[in-house]
Structure 1
Amino acid sequence: MTMTAQGTDNETRFSSLSSLLRHALDDDMLSPDAETLLEMMRDDIVFEFPFPIPNGTQRIEGKTALATYLSIVGTVLSIDVLTVKRSLISQDRCSAVLEFSCMGASKTSGARYDQDYVSVIDFLDGRISCYRDYWNPLIAQAALGDSALLKARA
């Protein structure tokens, strides 16, 4: 698979992952009617965390389970801003790799949650079919302590 770099502006900041994805990916990779993050996902989405927090969520299957997981995340984390650093898109336009960061905080303790991510994303029929999120679990553990997110099982 050959990847091509998508031009990004390192100073562009986003308030949501869905707006970051719209910016970082080519317009025709996602269905135009998909506005929210969940709408961008297929019903049978597989969302993976290859390096989870110990005893944390490693794999989520299905849009309903992902919605549950994201609602848990929303109760414990506040993301202030996301910044895309790099976007690589396969020539067949079925895959992308995104490098981005976020600045946020724990809603319970106020501890900082400033995280870097590399996400490997697969597409099928204008929707995300698989999303692998590579991140540093120690940053999440430091910010969240013993919160529900550490043990969430969607």
Structure 2
Amino acid sequence: MTDSVESFSTMLRKALGDRIAADAATFLDMMADDGVMEFPFAPPGLTTRLEGKAAIARHLDSLGEMIAFDGMGEPTVYATTDPDVTIVEFEGFGHGVSTGEAYDQRYISVIRTHAGRIVQYRDYWNPLVVLRALRGGAAVDALVGGVADHG
């Protein structure tokens, strides 16, 4: 997971620029000690909220056992009326570790920063793409009653 976190960190640094402290090289460095990550669209049984840098680090380690990330797309950044909030749209590419199924995911992340660190990271993504990568295409097709869109 280290290489993919580096790719993610590079993309995020590009998207957030000077909103993040200069000494924050990795994603975990970018997070405040009491930072929160939320995944509002996570399917039942998957993580929906992480509180604190230690919980986020454990989640990233376990994520690497489930999904192998190959890279991240270029971010599109949307300014908001709140200078501490940034919306970032990007893609992640990889595959499920146990299934080999493609993981081509689109994300929209709402990120709140304070004092050069991320204090809240709300990550929106397609749960069917996650389930396909983790459980396989047949399980998703059975769930949705047909062939699911892979993107």
**TM-score range with shorter-chain normalisation?**
0.7 to 0.9
TM-score computed with the length of structure 1 as normaliser: 0.80
Please give the alpha-carbon distance, in whole angstroms, between the structure 2 residues aligned to 1:89 and 1:128.
16
Segment of structure 1 superposing worse, 84-93 or 15-24:
84-93
Give unmatched runs, 5+ long, in structure 1: 1-13, 147-154
3-state SS, counterpart of residue 99 of structure 2: coil
CA contact (8 A) 1:15 1:80 kept: no
Hey, what does 2:140 align to over in structure 1? none
**1:144 matched to 2:134:** yes
Higher strand share: 1
Does the alignment pair 1:124 with 2:120? no
Among candidates 2, 8, 11, match of residue 20 of structure 1? 11
Cα deviation 1:28-59 (Å, max 9, x = unaligned): 21011101110100010110001111221111
User: Helix, strand or coil for the counterpart of 1:25?
Assistant: helix
**Greater relative contact order (Cα 8 A, min sep 6): structure 1 or 2?**
1
* Counterpart position of 2:139: none
> 1:4-43 maps to which residues of 2 (within 5 A)?
16-26=7-17, 28-43=18-33
Tell whether 2:58 aligns with 1:68: yes
* Other structure's SS at 1:84 match: coil
3-state DSSP class of the match of 1:109? coil
Shift of 1:145: 1.4
Q: Which has the higher helix share?
A: 2
Number of residue pairs the alignment of both structures matches: 132
Check whether the contact 1:106–1:143 (CA below 8 A) recurs between aligned residues. Answer: yes
The reply to whether residue 97 of structure 1 matches residue 87 of structure 2 is yes
1:116 touches 1:136 (CA, 8 Å); kept in 2? yes
Report what 1:58 is aligned to: 48
Q: Percent identity?
A: 42
Query: What secondary structure sits across from 1:20 in the alignment?
Result: helix
TM-score if structure 2 supplies the norm length?
Answer: 0.82
- Contact 2:8–2:71 under 8 Å retained in 1: no
What RMSD, in angstroms, separates the aligned Cα atoms of the two structures? 1.7
For 1:36 and 1:85, the matched residues in 2 are separated by 17
* Paired residues of 2:107 and 2:123 also in contact (CA < 8 A): yes
Q: Deviations over 1:80-126 (max 9, x none)?
A: 11113410133553110000001101122211100000000000100
